[in-house]
């Protein structure tokens, strides 16, 4: 995973306080908001890693903002540190009860605030790394089998309209491993993954199901574009030229089976099974081809 610069949303109705925070948090990207409604709008549009939230604000106070953020799927896991002049126990308890992870009283000590921000961001980064490891294939970096089925099932359940599934398999992969060795086989898998990933739509669910087998689930109103995309993938894989440990040239091909949801398909498993049947036909009729079953 690439290390990215973290973004902090600072929410305070006093501009002078925001200026202090921006100057203090110069190592981060800081977005300002002077009220609760503005803060919610920003979170809806931006990728926010941490929120510094004042409690006493006109209209919507910090508690109300926090409760709202915790009700929204996109923002429910963003850590919120309350910054306020209120220091009584009831205010502190309410801050934690509404979903805050920490509490800093004004006037705050700059080094203390920076330390608390750093701790929360490091905690978030660790969670993201663990989630990535649990959901992605370690060799290729694409979704693993479990995450693929989770996301593809969600996509199917949202709407099966114009939904396609493609099963892809590297032809005679065992022979590649036996002839050139497993490190070469790994390079072939990574190269094929790259070709597929570069030639599918951004909204597609792409995963490695195991070994040399991949699956893609996508939604597209134009059947011809799906056909053209998968043919392009097949052709580009055929054009790959890789080298073994000893410098030998390695060529490879893939077979593809494609199906579209129709009235006979009730769930994701049935759609993938239909695509797998088409993959079997592609394999059995000479390999290095795509077999489409649209209806």
- Known catalytic residues are 212
What residues contact 280, with CB distance under 8 A and at least 6 apart? Answer: 257
Dist CA 106 CA 111 (whole Å) = 13
What is the chain's Cα-based Rg?
25
Whether the CB-CB separation of 252 and 170 falls below 8 Å is answered with yes
Dist CA 104 CA 106 (whole Å) = 7
**How far is CA 22 from each of CA 12, 80, 145, 200, rounded to the nearest angstrom?**
12, 17, 43, 40
Helices (H), 4-144: 15-24, 36-45, 62-71, 89-97, 110-135
Q: How far is CA 31 from the centre of its chain?
A: 23
Q: How far is CA 202 from the centre of its chain?
A: 11
């Amino acid at each position: 995973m690439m290390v990215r610069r973290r973004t902090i949303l600072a929410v305070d109705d006093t501009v002078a306080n925001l200026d202090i925070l921006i100057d203090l948090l110069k190592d981060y990207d800081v977005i300002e908001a002077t009220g609760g409604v503005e803060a919610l709008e920003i979170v809806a549009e931006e990728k926010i890693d941490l929120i510094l939230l004042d409690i006493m604000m006109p209209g919507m106070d910090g508690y109300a903002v926090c409760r709202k953020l915790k009700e929204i799927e996109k923002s429910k896991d963003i850590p919120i540190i309350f910054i306020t002049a209120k220091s009584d126990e009831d205010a502190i308890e309410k801050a934690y009860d509404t979903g805050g992870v920490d509490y800093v009283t004004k006037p705050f000590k700059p080094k203390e605030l920076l330390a608390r921000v750093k701790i929360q961001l490091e905690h978030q980064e660790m969670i993201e790394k663990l989630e990535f490891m649990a959901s992605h294939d370690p060799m290729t970096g694409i979704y693993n089998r479990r995450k693929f089925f989770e996301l593809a099932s969600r996509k199917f359940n949202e709407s099966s309209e114009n939904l396609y599934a493609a099963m892809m398999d590297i032809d005679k992969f065992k022979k590649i491993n036996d002839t050139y060795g497993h490190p070469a086989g790994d390079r072939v898998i990574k190269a094929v993954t790259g070709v597929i990933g570069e030639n599918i739509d951004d909204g597609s669910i792409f995963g490695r199901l195991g070994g040399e087998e991949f699956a893609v689930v996508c939604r597209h109103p134009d059947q011809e574009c799906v056909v053209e995309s998968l043919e392009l993938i097949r052709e580009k894989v055929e054009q790959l030229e890789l080298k073994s440990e000893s410098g030998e040239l390695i060529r490879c091909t893939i077979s593809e089976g494609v199906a579209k949801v129709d009235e006979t398909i009730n769930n994701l498993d049935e759609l993938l099974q239909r695509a797998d049947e088409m993959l079997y036909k592609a394999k059995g009729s000479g390999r290095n081809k795509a077999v489409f079953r649209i209806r």
